[in-house]
Amino acid sequence: MKFYPLAKPYITAKDKASVLEVLNTNYLSLGPKLSEFEKKFAKKLGVKYACAVSSGTAGLHLSMLAVGIGAGDEIITTPFSFVASANSILCVGAKPVFVDINPLTYNLDPAKIKEKITSLPADRRKKLKAILVVHIFGQCCDMGAIQRLASKYKLLIIEDACESIGAAYKGKLAGTFGQAGVFAFYPNKQMTTGEGGMIVTNSKKIYEICNSLKNQGRAKNDQWLNHKSLGYNYRLDEMSAALGISQLEKLDFMIRKRRQIAAWYNEILKPYDDIVQSPMTAAVNTHSWFLYVIKIKNKKIDRDLLIANLKKAGVSSKQYLPSIHLFDFYKKLFGYKKGDFPVSENVSGHSLALPIYLGLTRRDCEYIIHKLIAEINNLNDAG
């Protein structure tokens, strides 16, 4: 029986040769490939600066520090995300202020952001420093509305674009709206460096702070082993940078292929819209499809049992995503409980991601969807 994993990196002979080329040099870290990757990435995004780091999480952490977020500050963000987004706020001593999501796009709901801001007492509102937007699954947030709110209430914007390289809102790329944008290159992403991430910004100051902090706080052009501030080892190595350069060259091709797979899924699922809610792409958005996440409409279906049954049929699927506020340590820290963010909780409880990676054919997509519908019907009958 053929097995369909949830994700699979697209690695070519050129990718492998690029890494091998570095291994045959004396530069395995802090070499020329790093700066080349950064410059090419900045050009691709249309920004002035790009700072390569060891992960998207590292990029979020440094971005928080670089824009001056710290103890006592409060940051508006989403509970429906990979936990690293909210954790990056905690890592600098600030507090995440969760706001519920749009029930169709699963991104932050601007109306809920405004509602949260205006409901806070004056002393709490003064603590608000920024909005950490998370462009979920490859789709941009409603950045027009969010930028207007940020401007009105004098808030910074940091973009977690770790899932959304190549996505756009009204033609403008994810990661280029705020003071800083962060990308990740884990193997399941649209492009990969194994591990790794990138911070992009048009601010020279933010870039220089990030560049220093990722290298143990060493200042620009400073002497070896002379460090001006407390920093971290968040560097990206030369092998990863070389792979990143090679992957970046075919990023548009890889995203086009992912869009084709998503289009096949959408078409095949059309007769089943009474059973499954397909992903919704806002009219102003261009999707880059990190994941293809569907929602089961019958709330009585045991989603986790569905995932287990699909695995037996050769189809990997997974919950995306748990609601962060219901993790034990968030409940302990802030007293969150079920019902605090009902839209996020509803999506978390009834959604699952289907396989999406280069190499899937239309026939593969048909098999996956037919197994999905069959297993849902089996659970309906059993229930």
DSSP state of 20: H
Render pLDDT for 113-147 as a digit per residue (tens, 0 to 9).
999 999 999 999 999 999 999 999 999 999 999 99
Q: What is the mean pLDDT of residues 58-68?
A: 99
335 and 236 in one domain? Answer: no
For residue 69, pLDDT beyond 70: yes
Q: What is the mean pLDDT of residues 240-258?
A: 99
321 and 220 in one domain? Answer: no
Tell me the whole-structure pTM to 2 decimals: 0.97
Question: Is residue 237 a part of any domain in this protein?
Answer: yes
What confidence score (pLDDT) does residue 308 get?
98
For residue 224, pLDDT beyond 70: no
Q: Which residue has the tokens 């993790």?
A: 327
Lowest mean pLDDT among 24-28, 119-123, 377-381: 377-381
H/E element, 348: helix 342-350
Render pLDDT for 282-295 as a digit per residue (tens, 0 to 9).
999 999 999 999 99
Last residue of a domain, one of 185, 216, 250: 250
- Look up 311 and say whether it is catalytic: no
305 and 224 in one domain? Answer: no
Render pLDDT for 142-195 as a digit per residue (tens, 0 to 9).
999 999 999 999 999 999 999 999 999 999 999 999 999 999 999 999 999 999
Render pLDDT for 309-324 as a digit per residue (tens, 0 to 9).
999 999 999 999 999 9
Last residue of a domain, one of 250, 272, 305: 250
Tell me which residue range forms the domain holding 93.
13-100+107-250
283 and 246 in one domain? Answer: no
What confidence score (pLDDT) does residue 128 get?
99
Question: Is residue 6 a part of any domain in this protein?
Answer: no
What confidence score (pLDDT) does residue 236 get?
99
H/E element, 251: helix 251-269
For residue 273, what are its two tokens?
């819209």
287 and 225 in one domain? Answer: no
190, 335, 238: which is closest to 38 by C-alpha? Answer: 238
44 and 164 in one domain? Answer: yes
CATH number of the domain within which 164 lies: 3.40.640.10
Q: Which of 95, 112, 129, 189 is catalytic?
A: 189
Last residue of a domain, one of 215, 250, 285: 250
Q: Could you give the strand order of the β-sheet that contains 172-173, starting from the edge strand earlier in sequence?
A: 172-173, 168-169, 285-286
220 band by pLDDT with thresholds 50, 70 and 90:
confident
DSSP state of 30: S
